Structure 1
């Protein structure tokens, strides 16, 4: 088979970004591309320790490569730590990237293009070295469009959010005028976040995007078509190729997903689920970096136990902040958990969501989790932590109507009531909605579907770039 091209993929070093970019890398590997996947040293070590990335599922054309040591670690839940990570990537990562690109061109097939969500770094390299950039945003189109609209919101004085104005409708995000409230904007738009360095980076992005070769999104037309039309009015070249996890499984004809996890998965929960009734369990996970306070932990815990429902809860060791001096767990919670609950440090989430026993998902509403829940046909209760999750949860509850939005609320009564509403009162309605949306997702990734065709178009676009590169050598 003829050489298709050599692609350099550089994700922002967090679990959600790496997960979806690895899925894309695998699809490109199946299409005869050479793929170099660049990670920080600590994410590389954790990926090798906890995933099956080196189990032979990739061809010899795929290789993992690492940045030099010194880049800020990947466990972060604050804007300050995110900024520290980004600026260490600029300081250490960008010079290394330039050297890697030049060295690869001398010793082997040159890079055809760069796929990354590190926009500023990628564009600097593109301008200087002439390497085309595909901007793969690992969030949904709706949240991306909200980010792109931030300068318009500032100009219209809708940002900063006015005092007591969290429930006021936002009018300057086209396509969302009738339902998007200030509290549904990405968390960086909240007053206490707007002075931070990450917010300043977000404000510059709409102008920079015009310099890209194309945008790649892990979504599908049946889910976000109306918002995608607004994005394409400004940035025409957008490839929607998701849900990537489902697309990869379909093309490989796999029943069980490969693991891209940076954390050790506890598979004992699958055996526990096997012993439960169909649609009886609510799965609880707030993702890989969200953190909660001890008070919030107790409110969620009481709400789960008081609901009387079976629950599987991912309790990461670093989930709760400020654990010093903590008091013992109340006896009623221990007994309620023994009777109805099961806790693990980390779970094989795709497999859990697809298990017949799971009937609901209490989630932070990260984009991967949202897509995985839709594909599996599991309705959600959304408690967003930060970034795009606030916008995602509004779409889940108000637009797609595949779950309930519980943002900015955390008391045991609300948690209990939401669980009962999801698992009992509105169970049939929500299941029908999410199952219908899941069917649209599967149609999109099937041969002839929108995402299937868009992935093929992306592949052909990169092949054309490769032909151009080879002609200049």
Structure 2
């Protein structure tokens, strides 16, 4: 046994946990980070993965890895990832149950920790008499919005006209009607039914883990406790314990850091719309010309699949390249945590995914927020209205609004105020991770909670 093994607490080191991440980048990263956190606390970790989007976990010899079939056809794998979620939930029931039963026959399992979107796993856990803890990889505020969808539908908000999108949601401040989570699907009823299953499965779980910290979402955590009546552990941000780079599904282009090294402090706007968002060519041009007209240096992540039907940079107009060749840099994928912590970065044009939002707060980088679907609507509203650490593009990706927002953030008075706000929030975040801090204490409570699930092996 190494020194680390000798120093961990006796009551937890003999407990075995099984973790089951959803196979999307924004879900794999926090689950792998959580696995590392809990392993560091002395737990034995087994991770069950599906074949789809299976990451390379060769860097984790300290985990036991099991891979199960997902039942997806080749044509299904090539479709939009969000559309695969109900199929994965339906087709992984048997393989997950069998894999878990096999593990259980070898050694006892203290509990399973699954992504909340794997709602079917609650029934499997009940059948095998194993406690299930849910990891929700979004903000608490957006999860509460999901839980409120039946109420909002009954109140008529989901059927409001386009002209009413800026009306307030009285039952859920600070949201406006346009901020209610939507999923760009042809079957919104099916999407709402799916979310209802996720919420119901979460309510039946033994406990909840959130990648957030108390000082960021204290009112929302209190509201969650009232509604779900479950032990809840806000132990984030996870990436402050362990980096996500080793679980990346894409090769990270480190030349982005070399380019940033040549730029002036706080001069560059970083642009990334996450791992699964898609836009059409018209919106791409709006982003391109918004960046061009802002006259600010930029680093833009242009990943494969960002634009529907196109995988190449040639889709960008020649005039864009001519105008920005000396102050713009484009890569297919970047080491985002390293980028955001670089002194040259002064702002982040983001899709408002939760991992990106947290990483930006951690580095004190103010945001310009757009959104595409799901929790991103809620996150961007909170960034703009509640935390006041960014600017929400109220009309979406339009070149004039992008230009104005970039200039406000990078060189305007409003940008200075936003920067002060986010640096203050960054300080609170750092304090939460120190001994006696809220996340530090919550993690200790989680360790004790998991260890209470039965006699050690």
Same fold per superposition (TM over 0.5): yes
Q: Secondary structure in 1 aligned to 2:158?
A: coil
Q: Secondary structure in 1 aligned to 2:22?
A: coil
Name the counterpart of 2:202: 209
Name the counterpart of 1:394: 381
Quote the offset at 1:464 in angstroms. 1.1
Q: Distance in 2 between matches of 1:232 and 1:77?
A: 37
CA 1:184–1:85: 2 relative to 1, 3 Å: closer
Please say if 1:343 is aligned against 2:330.
yes
Give the length in aligned residue pairs. 443
Name the counterpart of 1:252: none
Quote the offset at 1:360 in angstroms. 0.2
> Does the CA contact (< 8 Å) of 1:76 and 1:289 recur in 2?
no
Of the structure 1 ranges 201-210 and 257-266, higher mean CA displacement relative to structure 2 is found in 201-210
Of the structure 1 ranges 261-270 and 321-330, higher mean CA displacement relative to structure 2 is found in 321-330
1:361 is matched with which residue: 348, 353, 362?
348
Please say if 1:242 is aligned against 2:236.
yes
Q: Secondary structure in 2 aligned to 1:359?
A: strand
> Does the CA contact (< 8 Å) of 2:89 and 2:118 recur in 1?
no
1:180 is matched with which residue: 175, 179, 184?
175
> Does the CA contact (< 8 Å) of 1:14 and 1:75 recur in 2?
no
Name the counterpart of 2:36: 26
CA 1:147–1:265: 2 relative to 1, 3 Å: same
Q: Distance in 1 between matches of 2:200 and 2:142?
A: 17
- CA displacement 1:398-450 (0-9 Å, x = unmatched): 11000000144222111111110111112211111111111111111112111
Of the structure 1 ranges 195-204 and 221-230, higher mean CA displacement relative to structure 2 is found in 195-204
Name the counterpart of 2:86: 86
2:109 is matched with which residue: 99, 102, 111?
111
Name the counterpart of 2:222: 229
1:421 is matched with which residue: 387, 408, 412?
408
Q: Secondary structure in 1 aligned to 2:249?
A: coil
Q: Distance in 1 between matches of 2:312 and 2:102?
A: 53
> Does the CA contact (< 8 Å) of 2:181 and 2:377 recur in 1?
yes
> Does the CA contact (< 8 Å) of 2:211 and 2:236 recur in 1?
yes
Unaligned runs of 5+ in 1: 250-256
> Does the CA contact (< 8 Å) of 2:270 and 2:349 recur in 1?
yes
Q: Distance in 1 between matches of 2:433 and 2:186?
A: 37
Please say if 1:432 is aligned against 2:442.
no
Q: Distance in 2 between matches of 1:279 and 1:326?
A: 26
1:455 is matched with which residue: 424, 443, 455?
443
Q: Distance in 1 between matches of 2:258 and 2:297?
A: 14
1:54 is matched with which residue: 27, 40, 58?
58
> Does the CA contact (< 8 Å) of 1:232 and 1:238 recur in 2?
yes
CA 1:324–1:350: 2 relative to 1, 3 Å: closer
Q: Distance in 1 between matches of 2:190 and 2:118?
A: 15
Please say if 1:286 is aligned against 2:273.
yes
Q: Secondary structure in 2 aligned to 1:187?
A: coil
> Does the CA contact (< 8 Å) of 2:120 and 2:201 recur in 1?
no
Q: Distance in 2 between matches of 1:195 and 1:413?
A: 31
Name the counterpart of 1:297: 284
Q: Secondary structure in 2 aligned to 1:343?
A: strand
CA 1:170–1:5: 2 relative to 1, 3 Å: same
Name the counterpart of 2:3: none
Unaligned runs of 5+ in 2: 1-5
CA 1:327–1:281: 2 relative to 1, 3 Å: closer
Quote the offset at 1:77 in angstroms. 7.9
